[in-house]
Structure 1
Amino acid sequence: MAKWGARWPLTARRMGSRGLLSDLALRKPTKQSSTFAIHTAEYAVDGNYGTDLINNECTHTNMNDINPWWMVDLQTVCLLTSIRILNRGQDSSGIDSLNQLRDVTVTVWLTKSTVNIVYGFFAGPGTLSQVVIIDCPTIPEGRFVKISKTTEYLTLCEVDVFGLAV
């Protein structure tokens, strides 16, 4: 299993006097619009940073899902500073997944009944095993984080949400 270690810029991981921010999404409840085979939503927050869909258990919505989404419930309201998405890499099966991470919108909201706030957008296309960092200088409050697209299926190998619980 690969480790992130020093790949993250230290300035993006620090906030206030409490030191390094932890991943607020790690092992939290997740959902997705559909599931392809065994590639369930919780794989994006399992702490496994491998990028092989089959060997490292990434998420994957159904191939015919044309409005796919993935969501995590942080279980408490948080001030969010950045969201990091790990793109799928080269599979052991040899499938080229280079263009799958594109036109991705990240939204956040406080409760299921409130209006969501667009946190960021990644036009892509992503590169194999790319880490996409979406920072938000306004540091919005949110409990739910959703990643969605309006084209083809969605595959995520890991999603980290950084910030502080309110």
Structure 2
Amino acid sequence: MEKSILLLFTLLNLLFVRLDGRSVLMPKFLPAKISSQHTSGQSAELAYNGNTDGHYVDAAQCVLNSGSDTVPWWMLDLLQSYRIAGVNVWNRLDSTDEVRFTQISLGISSDAAAWSSFSENLFKRCFYFTGAPTDATNPISLTCPSPVVGRYLALYKNRTGLTAITQAYFNFCEVDVYVAVPDNEVANAIQPSYSMTSISLIAALTQMRSDIECLLRCSQLTNCLFVLFRTATLECWLFQSTVIPSSFAAVAGNADAKLLALYNN
């Protein structure tokens, strides 16, 4: 039995991942809000859909407020609390309007009231960006000095001293959120509470940006033990077993396929 398991692990390129406190990328397509919209139908989710194009006019993939907000803001609901390490912000690249992204705070909150009605006082500011961004500095990294626990994340602009009329606007094109994962969340071991013979597929996901993002999705489910990820197609399958269904043998046999194991203490 042990020999068979070892052989299976070898054939499927099994990788046990240990993160050692590193930051991992959060999944996309989470609920988002913005203080106002410059154009009707220009939803806040455009800044959290994985598209880093940077062209507001041509691609219509960036967010832009109306220009009338006293404090322009954009908020994201992570659906549960995480130790948030920081964000990368992909700025606008199709004009000189990248300079609008300045005097920006990154705030974290655990208060549900923050999601209902934005208030700076409900967020703990962990970074304040005052630079003059250029195309060469894209994406812009906003990293907290130490991880901050919270469910809600906000970017908000301080307009004080910004006299140019264009500085009333708040625009950017994509946000990547990174959370800090403690050592004991992912390790080179197998969860003992699951059967070695179960072959149930939990979910099939697409547009995963990395194997770590795929693994993070697994960590959010109490019954997920393994993931199968393909780097060529960015597909991710979640399993509650150390043995995957035979129907996935061909997928797992690809050179770009990785089988990753999750372990929770």
TM-score by length of 1: 0.79
The structure showing larger relative contact order (alpha-carbon pairs under 8 Å, at least 6 residues apart) is 1
Deviation at residue 15 of structure 1 after TM alignment: 4.2
Q: Which segments of 5 or more consecutive residues in structure 1 lack a partner in the other structure?
A: 1-13
Q: Distance in 2 between matches of 1:55 and 1:76?
A: 35
Deviation at residue 125 of structure 1 after TM alignment: 1.6
Match of 1:50 in 2: 53
Q: Which segments of 5 or more consecutive residues in structure 2 lack a partner in the other structure?
A: 1-17, 115-121, 160-167, 182-218, 221-265
Q: Which is greater in Rg?
A: 2
Q: Distance in 1 between matches of 2:143 and 2:158?
A: 22
1:97–1:128 Cα contact (<8 Å) kept: no
Alignment of 1:159 onto 2:175: yes
Deviations 1:52-73 (A, max 9, x none): 0023310000022232100000
1:39–1:61 Cα contact (<8 Å) kept: no
Q: Distance in 2 between matches of 1:62 and 1:157?
A: 15
| Structural RMSD (CA) | 2.3
Alignment of 1:119 onto 2:134: no
1:108–1:116 Cα contact (<8 Å) kept: yes
% same residue? 23
Alignment of 1:68 onto 2:84: no
Match of 2:83 in 1: 79
Query: Higher helix proportion, which one?
Result: 2
Alignment of 1:31 onto 2:38: no
Deviation at residue 156 of structure 1 after TM alignment: 1.5
Match of 2:235 in 1: none
Q: Which moved more, 1:135-144 or 1:100-109?
A: 135-144
TM-score by length of 2: 0.51
Alignment of 1:22 onto 2:29: no
Letter in 2 for 1:39: Q
